[in-house]
């Protein structure tokens, strides 16, 4: 097989959400795994609703998720190609002018309904003579343009859903160009896919209904068609569809909530697959787990709490080098030992700020701690240098001197040293706090 070429084609009319990210990632990982290419295509033919700001925002979201597009294209810069394709379809007799108004079409549909017929366009415009068309245009009507479907069953082997078909005779000839000359999504998408050599169209199953029509257009314009795969959609925890317009789980908001991109990517990809959902640390490893044929057909629920859990688990495995830059940008320069000490206690990376503050001090210790006990403990602090053994050696001496053990022994020390009743292992924190501060915290109120 030649290397696949895939595309992710958002319309920049809002920021992308986790469900869009699923589409982007499934495409990217499918291509990456086979050494293929990923195209980011902005479907911005709707010049009123699309904005450059949304497009730039989507580029940021995609990059944050770890996707590096090989090419970026914008439909708004490619109208010449669409016009040329439309001309070719006209010349083949597959794109025909229609003059019905919306009201007239509605009346036709009502008549069909009264006769229990499906609401399929009757192709009346195909029978118009040149004179009739000229007369309609003289009335001031401008045509919209329909693609003439061949009345046959269109079959494809869906990468996710398996053998699929649609009976084109049950479909209306689709409008490709509106009366104002603007393009609906259908034709530009096919033209771009042909021009860029797209081999696999992987998209949400809300697009299955377009596939029969698009395959016929692909075949008319290029004699062949790419492979199609329609993945299941994500819903929120209560089963409702996600909306870009309503800003549901936007990638921007997850980033602002300090989520790890690989936690988001892992969940977006693995939810609803036969793979156990887990936080996968790298794109390469995630790519190895993607198998379109094993995605579930049922909608998959996206659960924020699950993401929180994955985020924490992922952080707990990250190496210092993976987070160094971001720790620095949080104002933390405490070094590798710090990260290894605290990583098991952060649910979001920004929680590191709290632990950095605990080490730097000052800390506020509860007032009800026994000062005599703490003073005894302070007197027993060994001289530096300290390492991971220090805590055990020191507390053994404190135990011996005070007779305390277990929680009675450890909790007041933790509270005095950190001001918090839980947290990273003290054997790791103590050397980071150091003798001077530890002594201070044990002895000064």
**Which residues in this chain contact ligand GLU in the complex, by CB under 6 A?**
9-11, 43, 185, 189, 201, 203, 207
Q: How far is the CB of 170 from ligand GLU (least distance, A)?
A: 21
Q: How far is the CB of 185 from ligand GLU (least distance, A)?
A: 6
DSSP-assigned letter for residue 223? S
CA–chain centroid gap for 91, Å, is: 41
Q: How far is CA 422 from CA 61, 254, 337, 362, 434, in A?
A: 35, 27, 19, 17, 19
Q: How far is the CB of 244 from ligand GLU (least distance, A)?
A: 9
Based on CB atoms, which residue is closest to ligand GLU, 53 or 206?
206
Based on CB atoms, which residue is closest to ligand GLU, 27 or 345?
27
Are 47 and 76 in contact by the 8 Å Cβ rule? The answer is: yes
Based on CB atoms, which residue is closest to ligand GLU, 208 or 257?
208
Q: How far is the CB of 10 from ligand GLU (least distance, A)?
A: 5
Structure token pair of residue 246: 């309503």
Q: How far is the CB of 53 from ligand GLU (least distance, A)?
A: 17
Based on CB atoms, which residue is closest to ligand GLU, 44 or 173?
44
Q: How many helical (H) and strand (E) elements, i.e. helices and strands, does the chain have?
A: 18, 12
Which of 220, 116, 241 minimizes the C-alpha distance to 168?
A: 220
Residue holding tokens 């069909």?
A: 112
Based on CB atoms, which residue is closest to ligand GLU, 65 or 310?
65
DSSP-assigned letter for residue 387? -
Based on CB atoms, which residue is closest to ligand GLU, 233 or 280?
233
- The CA-based angle 109-115-116, given to 5 degrees, is 85
Based on CB atoms, which residue is closest to ligand GLU, 299 or 309?
299
Helix, strand, coil content of the chain in percent (nearest 5): 50, 15, 35
Which of 100, 28, 33 minimizes the C-alpha distance to 68?
A: 28
Separation CA 40–CA 10 (nearest Å): 8
Q: How far is the CB of 8 from ligand GLU (least distance, A)?
A: 7
Based on CB atoms, which residue is closest to ligand GLU, 174 or 412?
174
Are 145 and 95 in contact by the 8 Å Cβ rule? The answer is: yes
Q: How far is the CB of 425 from ligand GLU (least distance, A)?
A: 48
Q: How far is the CB of 128 from ligand GLU (least distance, A)?
A: 32
Separation CA 96–CA 165 (nearest Å): 25
Separation CA 262–CA 314 (nearest Å): 8
Based on CB atoms, which residue is closest to ligand GLU, 6 or 97?
6
Based on CB atoms, which residue is closest to ligand GLU, 189 or 235?
189
Cα torsion 190, 228, 210, 147 to 10°: value is 40
**Is-cis flag, bond preceding 362, omega within 30?**
yes
Name the E strands within 390-436. none
Q: How far is the CB of 42 from ligand GLU (least distance, A)?
A: 9
Q: How far is the CB of 280 from ligand GLU (least distance, A)?
A: 25
Which are the contacts of 41, defined by CB distance < 8 A and separation ≥ 6? 7, 8, 9, 72, 73, 74, 75, 192, 196
């Amino acid at each position: 097989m030649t290397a696949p070429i895939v595309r992710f084609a958002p319309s920049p009319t809002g920021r992308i959400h986790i469900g869009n990210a699923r589409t982007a990632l499934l495409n990217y990982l499918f291509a990456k795994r086979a050494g293929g290419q990923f195209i980011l295509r902005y479907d911005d033919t709707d010049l009123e609703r699309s904005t450059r700001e949304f497009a730039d925002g989507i580029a940021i979201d995609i990059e944050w998720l770890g996707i590096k597009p090989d090419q970026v294209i914008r439909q708004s810069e490619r109208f010449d190609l669409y016009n040329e394709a439309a001309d070719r379809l006209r010349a083949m007799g597959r794109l025909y002018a229609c003059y019905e108004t919306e009201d007239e079409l509605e009346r036709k549909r009502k008549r069909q309904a009264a006769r229990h017929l499906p609401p399929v366009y009757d192709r009346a415009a195909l029978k118009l003579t040149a004179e009739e068309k000229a007369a309609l245009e003289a009335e001031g009507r401008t045509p919209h343009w329909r693609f003439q479907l061949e009345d046959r069953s269109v079959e494809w082997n869906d990468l996710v859903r398996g053998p699929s078909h649609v009976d084109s005779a049950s479909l209306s000839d689709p409008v490709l160009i509106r009366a104002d000359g603007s393009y609906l999504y259908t034709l530009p998408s096919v033209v771009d896919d042909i021009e860029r050599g797209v081999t696999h169209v992987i998209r949400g199953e809300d697009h299955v209904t377009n596939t029969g029509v698009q395959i016929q257009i692909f075949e008319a314009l290029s004699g062949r068609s790419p492979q199609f795969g329609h993945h299941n959609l994500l819903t929120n925890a209560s089963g409702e569809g996600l909306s870009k317009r309503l800003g549901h789980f936007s990638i921007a908001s997850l980033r602002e909530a300090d989520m790890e991109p690989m936690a988001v990517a892992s969940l977006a990809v693995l939810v609803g697959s036969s793979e156990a959902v887990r936080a996968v640390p790298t794109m390469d490893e995630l790519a190895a787990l993607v198998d379109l044929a094993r995605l579930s057909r049922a909608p998959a629920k996206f659960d924020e709490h699950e993401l929180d859990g994955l985020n924490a688990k992922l952080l707990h495995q990250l190496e210092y080098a993976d987070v160094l830059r971001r720790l620095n940008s949080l104002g933390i320069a405490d070094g590798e030992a710090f990260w290894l000490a605290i990583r098991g206690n952060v649910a979001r990376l920004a929680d590191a700020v709290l632990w950095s503050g605990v080490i730097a001090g000052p800390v506020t210790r509860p007032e009800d701690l026994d000062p005599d006990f703490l003073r005894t403990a302070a007197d027993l602090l060994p001289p530096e240098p300290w390492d991971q053994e220090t805590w055990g050696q020191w507390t053994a001496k404190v135990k011996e001197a005070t007779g305390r053990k277990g929680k009675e022994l450890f909790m007041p020390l933790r509270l005095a040293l950190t001001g918090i009743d839980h947290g990273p292992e003290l054997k790791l924190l103590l050397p980071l706090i150091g003798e001077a501060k530890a002594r201070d915290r044990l002895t000064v109120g």
